Structure 1
């Protein structure tokens, strides 16, 4: 379909968007052309003989692409290509970032045990729905992920509400993701947003943070101690100020993209429509918050009960794709750690945000909690890390130092391979240690390099 049509006999371009088709000097131009096209169709005249060609992409490419007109029930005017290959010329090629998001959604869902596929066509009566990535969740739940990035154009994707409503009508929960702030501010569906990142960063197994589109609901009583203004007031000091009822206020929360994919498929994160006095918002919340919100709507005279539920997620050990909030320092690492081969695991709050179901009220706090005090080696007491890690890092740094003193190209090549193998061994050990102790792998590696490469201070006499 296209909005610009070339009339071969009138020798003019027709823009189907405005009522006058871009030619106010010709009244009733649409009625005349559309009535003529319908008469051609009734007489069986081929599309190639109806005087209408694509006047946009096809004409610019030097291709004669014949078209016919169509009028939707909602009054939308459309020009349809005769051949499918001409229609495909108007479809923008999928960007590398878009492909990376599709691969990441499938990988994250697969790790949670949820199968899926990309570019899925679902038959709906006489038409069909095409979904970027369709994930099959629990209890017959289907999540249809649609990715709209910066390449979608300044005006953004059109007919989002219509596409989302059609998906919902046929049992698919729409999940639209973007990297544009203006798209994320729309409320035609539940939008989520991450930072604008290159494809290789999106595709890697780091922690991709969703910075918009997920909310935590704060439930409160409207009395003189309330921190929020009463939703029933008019905002100018007149009318109802404190109604005494209970309300809910959505507050933004970050969530990891992989957790969002898995938990929407599992049903622990669900879409809601939140109504205010002036507008309707659409976003994602935990299923516990959704249930409490339903209770509040049924009876706003009492506070809905807090539903005790086990947290369905944990902080990730992977290096963050977006910005980390905390960096491990000597003060944040305990004085002792279990040995790499075994021992009691310690629970440290890593730099990345916890799962979306967390009820943390102060996201900036990152306390360290230890369950027990195992025995420690002297190296652990001095550095906070096992002696094995320190020795491996020093060995890798030693191989790198030897490389700098070589002049022969063949010797440098062999030494570079030795250095790469030593560095890979360090990374493998750091990854295993971070996994066993529930720490952030990137922060552990950074702390290890800082310990090894910082010269010891000589005490003054």
Structure 2
């Protein structure tokens, strides 16, 4: 149903009309026959977001569907939205608090330019991260994939879905962060660590030889000699994620896919360096229904041709080094690499200070990429990857 969130002026306050029992709903319809005169049912959307009062009509269709509708000539009806629980509000409060503490702009219930796409919390740093907390199952037509697609189309860089329910995480069909379950007092306690248990991963690479003991993704018995990549679960807290994602230090991989994940910028680049044109490493490509005829060496003619490809780009999703990007972008990325390289030899307060220097350098690079892509009308992703590849080609100390 639409317009499910309503205010009842008889003392019940804000309720979800779709969750009312049949008897209570029928009584509400009877009591609200003349909605404007009775002034019993008020649109919670219009009141919460614009402080405008609209008295709602309530009735049922012949098939039993409940309808809560604006009067003719008023604002358009709103899509279904779950009622915000105390835990949901506590999570959003915590994300807003951490984001502001880190120096990011945090907007609650932020709407995009289309007036329809909104975020539980919009975090704006060098990247715009739309944080969405999901406590209840997704409704048909308003699933995570559809809402993610609309949010990305609204010029936001990424959507950070978060849930503490394994059931919701398994059925989300998009990249989703899953944390341990926590109650409101724990969520509100800044010292309580909300640990991310799923959706955040590290990238592992290995040389495909017999000695390594891994199964060759290209089905070579003795290994193909190439370098492959896979992922393993990694740990992070929700606070650390919020402090890094808007700075571009954590990036999503395949955000519209259920097997998508978040990872650090370094490991994101490793993943893309070993990805094919579809953005998947060789060991995650879907198996073909019909296998090609193998050669005597144990691999197909197509694979043999790839092994002799002189370009060296057949298994990467990266842009060629020759892609044109301003020297300023390359210099900013090299600075970020240099700052990151110094972290390895430090600990304690020195490590904390150096980490802040690295984050500042990374933010400056991400902001410059965004500005350059906007001024040229090009793809921000392609600009970012070209600059990073050029910086790696030169090396952090060159």
Q: 1:273 aligns with which of 254, 259, 266?
A: 254
Paired residues of 1:184 and 1:193 also in contact (CA < 8 A): yes
Post-superposition shift, 1:266? 0.4
TM-score, normalised with respect to structure 2: 0.52
CA distance in 2, matches of 1:250, 1:105: 27
1:105 paired residue number: 95
1:222 paired residue number: 208
1:94 paired residue number: 84
Structure 1 unpaired stretches of 5+: 5-54, 70-76, 234-238, 315-344, 358-461
CA distance in 1, matches of 2:268, 2:79: 44
After superposition, the Cα gap between the structure-2 partners of 1:223 and 1:82, relative to the gap in structure 1 and judged at 3 Å, is: same
1:61 paired residue number: 28
Paired residues in the alignment total 249
Post-superposition shift, 1:85? 10
What's the CA shift string for 1:24-76, capped at 9, x where partnerless? xxxxxxxxxxxxxxxxxxxxxxxxxxxxxxx998546335645799xxxxxxx
Post-superposition shift, 1:99? 0.9
Post-superposition shift, 1:200? 1.2
Q: 2:154 aligns with which of 153, 170, 186?
A: 170
1:128 paired residue number: 116
Structure 2 unpaired stretches of 5+: 5-21, 34-56, 277-312, 319-336, 359-398
Aligned CA RMSD, in angstroms, stands at: 4.5
Is structure 2 residue 133 aligned with structure 1 residue 147?
Answer: yes
SS at match of 1:219: strand
1:189 paired residue number: 174
| Residues 264-273 or 112-121, more deviating | 112-121
Paired residues of 1:213 and 1:284 also in contact (CA < 8 A): yes
After superposition, the Cα gap between the structure-2 partners of 1:228 and 1:128, relative to the gap in structure 1 and judged at 3 Å, is: same
After superposition, the Cα gap between the structure-2 partners of 1:260 and 1:312, relative to the gap in structure 1 and judged at 3 Å, is: farther
* Within-5 A mapping of 1:39-78: 58-59=25-26, 61-62=28-29, 63=32, 65=57
* Within-5 A mapping of 1:258-407: 258-273=239-254, 281-297=259-275, 299=313, 310=340
1:365 paired residue number: none
Larger Rg: 1
What's the CA shift string for 1:220-255, capped at 9, x where partnerless? 12221234323344xxxxx76733322111100110
After superposition, the Cα gap between the structure-2 partners of 1:89 and 1:202, relative to the gap in structure 1 and judged at 3 Å, is: same
TM-score, normalised with respect to structure 1: 0.45
